[in-house]
Structure 1
Amino acid sequence: MAATATDKSGNSMWRVGLSSLLGTTMEFYDFLVYGTMAALVFGDIFFPEAGSSIVALLYSYATFAIGFFGRPIGGMIFGHYGDKLGRKLMLVVTMTVMGVATIAIGCLPTYAQVGVLSPILLIVCRLVQGLALGGEWGGAALMVMESAPDGKRGMWSSLTQMGASFGMILSTGMVALVTQLPNEAFMAWGWRVPFLFSVVLIVLALYVRSTLKESRVFEQMKEDKKEAKMPLIEVFKKQPGAVIKTAGIGATNNVSYYFVATIALSYGTTQLGFPRSTMVNALLVVSIVYLFTLPLFATLTDTFGRKKIIGLGIILVGLFAFPYFKMLETGNFFLIGLAMTLMLAVFQSMVYSSQAAFFPEQYDPRYRYTGASLSTNLATSIFGGTCPFIATALSGAAGGASWPMSLYLVCICIMSFICLYFTKETYKADVTEYQADKLEA
């Protein structure tokens, strides 16, 4: 028990896990609140002159995507300094910047108040938010993965991934509350409340992170005087394949996640005519199930290997791409909830659950923060950030049909599976070893 309760640096594993969980909870809470509000109200609030509701929605999703493009830059910046100065410091910095940007979005003036300045400020806040988020996940994942005992990295690292579920529960819960307001009140001030609520998560996360000690792997690296001088350059020089392959694997979990968390909400309300509350409640149920499946599948990867569980999940996501929308289109609440649960809480969970261990395991510790942050954020930016926009545009071009969106997801799964096939299995790897050549071979 002692071996799992405290790592070699003296950190409590539960404290390390909680620090990571709070950070990723805020990450997903912020982005899901933004994605939800982009689908529900941002078109009217920030783009009332767009000309039509579908164009306004596309503009809203475009700002959603813009934030994602700041993430690789943030990953490079914070990853670089995380590999040189330490994991803990960067986690405190990213949390502070991310929180300030999110609160600022909740305070923005509307188009009716300041005109075109309003969407410009929205874009600036999204870019700053994206920069901070670019360094958040990699640092949170590394702190847990590098602290966890061998043979249990998947299990402990699932706490990082569970932030996706907690963030979804909090965001859908807050949205469910504010959407109960009269429409006039919701459009006037109700939409701001979920953004302002993030201050609670900021305070909790900063308190826990301030009490942590540095990662044992980073401390050992400093003691061995093995720090990389230029982590960003070295990761591309020594392990370019790892960056490409892990980014490709991450495409499936990003696209399938937003197929449920954002696209289903928009598609259900605009194309199928369901009330907002119906889709939000379905998403809340899915989030609760997701909370339990993430640690389950992550723990299984400690026994059976990361690649087997992830690969099976990718295949199942691809096979379910067409049945998913057919179940949504039935209009039956039970079938809608079942479709969303299978896609996210089962199939996507198999792909995503162990990535906080699997992706960092692919990199030499000297530039692990940089590599894991960069590849994850490339996947999030290229595939996750553009997913709502691309899917909405494809469906709109087909007269509102769902089959182009399903085909899009199938293509993503094929690419991810190819990348996974050529990736090293690392669930038994020594994460303290300086082994760039071995990992890249």
Structure 2
Amino acid sequence: MTETAGPASPARIDPTEARKVAFAAFVGTALEWYDYFLYGTAASIVFDRLYFATGDPAVATLAAFASFAVGFVARPLGALLFGHLGDRIGRRRSLLITVTLISVVTGLIGLLPDFMVIGLAAPLLLTSLRVLQGIAVGGEWGGAVTLAVEHAPPEQRGRFAALPQIGSPVGTLLSSGGFYLVATLPDESFDAWGWRLPFLAAFPLLGIALYLRRRVGESPLFEQMLAEHDRASVPAVELFRTAWRQVLIGIAASLIGIGGFYLLTTFVISYGVGQLGLPKSLMLGATLFAAAAEIVTLIFGGRLADRFSPGKVCLFGGVLSALAAFPVFWMIDTRNPVLVIVAVTLGINCLSIPYAVSGSLLAGLFPVHLRYSGVAISSNLSGLLSGFVPLIASALLIASGEQSWSTALLLMVLALITAAGGLFGHRATRADALG
């Protein structure tokens, strides 16, 4: 049931405030993805040995990736919780909670004793922290995108919605860069304390994010909604009752940007180091180079969204990613360092085109009073599926006799689903959807 009243005056958009909000959203999401990507990298090269010591490297890797996937299972719970708060009490308040929770949890992972010290409690506590991390992330991105879009001038919503997306490659640069530096330590030092340093850095970084977020105002569209008393009593219930088709479209449109990314980072790092015998420094360096190039792609993609519409750009990016899937793995399989870097960079930047516009596309699918919930729930249900991508890719690799065509095919399928999401998203987005 929705509370309604007479119409209020149109929300006022302040370009200066919009830029400040977008920058704060970028910093917050950069910290969010830094924290989250740390776990994926550590699952590839640390957690399998120190927390899931089974005696069988393949089984230990699967167990580490399973704990990685658990965080994605928790993300829809966070989307429900923080989507409800964001649509009822405000986007800004909800985001202050999410960024605090994810940073504290990440720092605690850096303090957690390993299996040799506390036995079975180590993987259990690690997995529990991963669940809390997933809940926080479940509410973070959707709120950041919603706040940025609702502050943006109508003709520039694509580029403002792309700014939080830039937090993803910046988070990758910070997390992979941190691991790249500590990976130069001797193996004994790396295992004993070196890998913990990037996790512990989450504590001081939290102070920066909170400072910026406390300085931004609430969404003008949300404040207008409050003036009109147009809040859903239970946003998630109304969302699935009235906009379930849009949720499905949002899931599809988000799939390659989340699942494909983890396939080309978390899984590819494990594949390159474990199956191909490549140095972990090379694989981490490849993700660093790709992330740096991705920043340019995301900026470009946001501007394309303003010119051609987010749905059309998502469709194009999905098709392009599908075409690149097999060449990417062919180049990685050569073991040539230059071609490995080119492959990872090519793959990540193709899938970054639909990722650049996913924020503006999803925001355009839902009305203001359901937007935080709609964006968060659809993207995190996609994230739920995506969290199992490294695990599925590892299983496919084993089933195919360690032939990479199986994982390339998985990447292609994800890309085509996203292309379909872009097509239907273009048709479903209402001209007045952003208020």
Alignment TM-score, normalising by the size of structure 2:
0.95
TM-aligned CA deviation for residue 24 of structure 1: 1.1
Give the equivalent residue in structure 2 for 1:364: 367
Q: 1:7 to 1:279 in 2, by over 3 A?
A: farther
Q: Write the letter of the residue equivalent to 1:92.
A: L
Question: Residue deviations 1:222-259, cap 9 Å, x none?
Answer: 01111111111111111000111110121122222112
> Equivalent residue for 1:302?
306
Deviations 1:54-105 (Å, cap 9, x if unpaired)? 1001000000000111100100010011000000000001111111111111
Given that 2:260 and 2:415 are in contact with CA atoms closer than 8 Å, whether structure 1 keeps it comes out as no
Deviations 1:204-237 (A, max 9, x none): 1111111111100000000111111111111111
Letter in 2 for 1:391: A
Letter of the structure 2 residue corresponding to residue 348 of structure 1: L
SS at match of 2:206: helix
Contact in 1 for aligned 2:253/2:425 (Cα 8 Å)? no
Counterpart contact for 1:256–1:317, Cα < 8 Å: no
- Structure 1 residues without counterparts, runs of 5 or longer: 1-5, 434-441
Structure 1 residue 31 and structure 2 residue 36: aligned? yes
Partner amino acid for 1:375? S
Match of 1:315 in 2: 319
2:394 aligned residue (373, 389, 392): 392
CA distance in 1, matches of 2:27, 2:430: 27
Name the SS for the 1:273 alignment partner.
coil
SS of residue matched to 2:151: coil
Alpha carbons 1:146, 1:431 under 8 Å: kept: no
Question: Whole-Å Cα distance in 1 between the matches of residues 27 and 271 of structure 2?
Answer: 30
Q: Which of 423, 429, 432 in structure 2 is aligned with 1:430? A: 432
Match of 1:291 in 2: 295
Say whether 1:227 aligns with 2:231: yes
How do 1:265-414 residues align onto structure 2 when only pairs under 5 Å count?
265-345=269-349, 347-382=350-385, 384-414=386-416
Q: Which residue in the other structure is 1:103 paired with?
A: 107
Tell me, in whole angstroms, the C-alpha distance in 1 between the residues paired with 2:170 and 2:234: 35
1:198, CA displacement in angstroms? 1.3
Distance in structure 1 (CA, Å) of the matches to 2:289 and 2:429: 31
> What is the CA distance between 1:342 and its match in structure 2?
1.2
Q: 1:284 to 1:348 in 2, by over 3 A?
A: same
1:41 pairs with 2:43: no
CA distances 1:382-420 after superposition (whole Å, capped 9, x unpaired): 1x2001110011101212110111112222233333333
Q: Report the Cα offset of residue 9 of structure 1.
A: 6.1
Deviation at 1:338, TM superposition (A): 1.2
1:9–1:316 CA distance, 2 compared to 1 (3 A): closer
8 A contact 2:15–2:153 mirrored in 1: no
Q: How does 1:13-24 map to 2 (within 5 A)?
A: 13-24=18-29
SS of structure 2 residue aligned to 1:363? coil
Q: How does 1:164-203 map to 2 (within 5 A)?
A: 164-203=168-207
SS in 2 for 1:146: helix
SS in 2 for 1:354: helix
Alpha-carbon separation, structure 2, partners of 1:34 and 1:404: 25
Partner SS, residue 195 of structure 2: helix
| Mapped partners of 2:259, 2:101: distance in 1 | 26
Secondary structure at the aligned position of 1:423 is classed as helix
Asked if structure 2 preserves the Cα contact closer than 8 Å seen for 1:258 and 1:387, the reply is: yes
2:413, 2:162 → 1: CA distance? 27
Q: Is the 8 A contact 2:26 2:166 kept in 1?
A: yes
Query: Cα offset for 1:160?
Result: 0.5
The letter for the 2-side match of 1:291 is I
Distance 1:236 1:430 in 2: 21
For the residues of structure 1 that align with 2:355 and 2:15, how far apart are their CA atoms? 29
Unpaired runs of 5+ residues, structure 2, are: 1-10
Verify: 1:84 aligned to 2:88, yes or no. yes
Structure 1 residues 7 and 194, CA gap change in structure 2 (3 angstroms): farther
Conservation of the 8 A alpha-carbon contact between 2:315 and 2:420: no
After superposition, give the CA deviation of every residue in 1:267-301 in whole Å (9 maximum; x if it has no partner): 11111111111111121111111111101111111
Partner of 1:438: none
Distance in 2 separating the partners of 1:360 and 1:14: 18
2:140 is equivalent to residue 141 of structure 1: no
**Aligned match for 1:12, one of 7, 17, 21:** 17
- Letter of the aligned partner of 2:315 in structure 1? G
Q: Equivalent residue for 2:6?
A: none
Query: Counterpart of 1:430 in 2: which secondary structure?
Result: coil
Identity among equivalent positions (%) equals 36
For residues 173 and 21 of structure 1, the distance between their equivalents in structure 2, rounded to whole angstroms, comes to 19
Question: 2:366 & 2:238 partners in 1: Cα distance?
Answer: 11
TM-score, L = length of structure 1: 0.93
Q: Match of 2:419?
A: 417
Matched residue SS, 1:400: coil
Query: In structure 2, what is the Cα distance between the partners aligned to 1:7 and 1:281?
Result: 45
Distance in 2 separating the partners of 1:158 and 1:424: 17
Cα contact 2:246–2:428 (8 A) shared by 1: no
Moved more, 303-312 or 161-170: 303-312
SS for the counterpart of 1:12 is helix
